[in-house]
Structure 1
Amino acid sequence: MKQILIIEDDINIAELEKEYLQLNGYKVEIVQDGSQGLKRALMGIFDLIIVDLMLPGKDGYSIVQEIRKKYEIPVIIVSARSDDIDKIKGLGFGADDYLTKPFSPAELVARIKSHIIRYERLSGNKTQVSVIIHKALEIMTDSHKVFVNGKEVILTTKEYELLVFLASNPNIVFTKDQLFDNIWGEEYYGDTATVAVHIQKLRKKIEKDPGNPDYIETLWGTGYRFNS
């Protein structure tokens, strides 16, 4: 299932986009803050990113620029700004498309499908190399491989996604609810207890001493933090 990230502070518009995309078989995540949206975008787990221009934290132009430093995935700007200069600027910074609000959700879906197909066709066998390194831990986001002291460790899909999320947001404390929402999503049938279980399994695989972890720290009564 293709994954789409929506960086949009207007929740009504974001939910409308999400509804139409889910109906068309996409997995969708919404982030309303520009800075947090960029962090998610740089995790390398999305097939396409939709971004507004006027956002709290970091504006859409900056987000597009930062994404382009690491990835070539399709990026679509959806904005209320309709002046040609805004479109030229957005496309010049690396966006693949520019859609003006108000827009037709059906048109947005059509453009997304087109850009994903075009990207997959043009990328062919190319791979995007991206490595997250913390001390002895190396995460290869292009191949979904994880190494500790040069030795590969095998993780499940959710273990990997949880590790990438935490390692991409070092020194930030996340509650179990926040981790559950980011990794499993609101459509997942289950509860936050699975977060603690996956953290425990991760520690056994990546920590030298799981009982005294170097990477994933527990803040009792609060949540978890990845120490960089």
Structure 2
Amino acid sequence: MESIRVLVVEDDQDINNLLCTILRDGGYESQAAFSGSEGLLWAERESFDLVLLDLMLPGLTGEQFIQKIRPLRTMPIIVLSAKAGLEDKVNVLRMGADDFIPKPFDNLEVLARVEAQLRRVKKFSAPPAQKQQLSCGDLVLDRDEFTVTAGEKPVTLTAREFEILALLMEYPKKVFTREQIYQHVWGEDYFGDDNTVNVHISNLRSKLGKASDREYIKTVWGIGFKMAEV
């Protein structure tokens, strides 16, 4: 069985070593990088299943790392940072991060969140009975190729944005509550964290809107979200 590789981008050597130890104890292979620039080089030239990323890094910051790697790679990115204000969390989620863990962190929580992200990525290996290509008007999503086009223009999405869009497109007439979206995509119990779902929906709308001037996702006030009428 092929090992799962995680890139750890953290400039503090003790914390980097600790994260690599947590991953090794969890059965994962890790690659340490001690600056944003070094992390980007590793991520560009080799394949990783997930990235653990600090924000305050020498060379490139964590935010700059996300902006540069997202057009090239879709693997989950979990940010671990002492910059744990709401604005910091929202910013990195908007940029393309998939999760945020504030420092200081709990070892077991880090491992659990890594496992959760990897489980969600595995969902994209859909069973044969599941429809692999979905379309709503000129919006087309292909699960096999992990591609989305709007108005025949390619749209680059994170793994989580892709999964939200696939859920909405699979049932285009259904209105999904934030709770339903969260439980389906995050695979966790919902604790009223509307902001997380709202940020990802906002990201989706922004990216789709840059490719086409159509509205693809409709807000049903007081309930949730659905695909707009074709």
Per the normalisation by structure 2, the TM-score is 0.54
Shift of 1:111: 0.4
Secondary structure at the aligned position of 1:13 is classed as helix
Distance in 2, Cα, partners of 1:122 & 1:128: 8
Shift of 1:61: 0.6
Distance in 1, Cα, partners of 2:43 & 2:146: 14
Q: Matched residues, percent identical?
A: 36
**Alpha-carbon deviations, 1:156-180, whole Å to 9, x = none?**
xxxxxxxxxxxxxxxxxxxxxxxxx
Which of 65, 68, 73 aligns to 1:66? It is 68
Which portions of structure 1, spanning 4 or more consecutive aligned residues, are displaced by more than 6 angstroms? none
Shift of 1:127: 4.3
Shift of 1:113: 0.6
**Alpha-carbon deviations, 1:197-224, whole Å to 9, x = none?**
xxxxxxxxxxxxxxxxxxxxxxxxxxxx
Shift of 1:60: 0.3
Distance in 2, Cα, partners of 1:16 & 1:127: 36
The equivalent residue for 1:15 is 17
Distance in 2, Cα, partners of 1:123 & 1:77: 25
RMSD: 1.6
The equivalent residue for 1:94 is 96
Distance in 1, Cα, partners of 2:113 & 2:106: 11
The equivalent residue for 1:113 is 115
1:139-150 matched pairs, under 5 angstroms? none
Question: Gaps spanning 5+ residues in structure 1: where?
Answer: 130-228
Shift of 1:44: 4.3
Question: Gaps spanning 5+ residues in structure 2: where?
Answer: 127-142, 148-230
Distance in 2, Cα, partners of 1:111 & 1:46: 16
CA contact (8 A) 1:71 1:128 kept: no
The equivalent residue for 2:79 is 77
The equivalent residue for 1:39 is 41
The equivalent residue for 1:126 is 144
Per the normalisation by structure 1, the TM-score is 0.54
Counterpart of 1:79, as a letter, is S
Shift in CA distance, 120/21, structure 1 to aligned 2, threshold 3 Å: same
Which of 2, 5, 12 aligns to 1:3? It is 5
